[in-house]
Amino acid sequence: MRAENLCAYCKHLKQGFTCSAFPNGIPQFFLQGKEHTSPYENDNGIVFEAQDDAPLWARNKDLRLK
């Protein structure tokens, strides 16, 4: 598993550890590496979507598992 935080490569990320899914702050467990690739309580129906220029491993779930 990668050490980088997947949130850093999400197209929904905003300033100050917030995003479209969590406008009041991204939960700590996501910032610590848990992937937000499936719905989670109070995420406004938004999950991780890789930025167009994200590294290949961030855009491809199979690569993230290695």
What pLDDT score does 52 carry? 96
Number of folded domains in the chain? 1
pTM: 0.85
6-63 pLDDT per residue, tens: 999 999 999 989 999 999 999 999 998 899 999 999 999 999 999 999 999 999 988 8
**Residue 2's pLDDT is what?**
54
Confidence of residue 65 (pLDDT cuts 50, 70, 90): low
Question: How far is Cα 5 from Cα 28, in angstroms, rounded to an integer?
Answer: 11
Task: Give the residue from 66, 3, 8 showing the smallest Cα distance to 36.
Answer: 8
Where in the sequence is the domain holding 50, given as residue range(s)?
Answer: 1-66
pLDDT at 3: 54
Among 25, 20, 23, residue whose Cα is nearest residue 47? 20
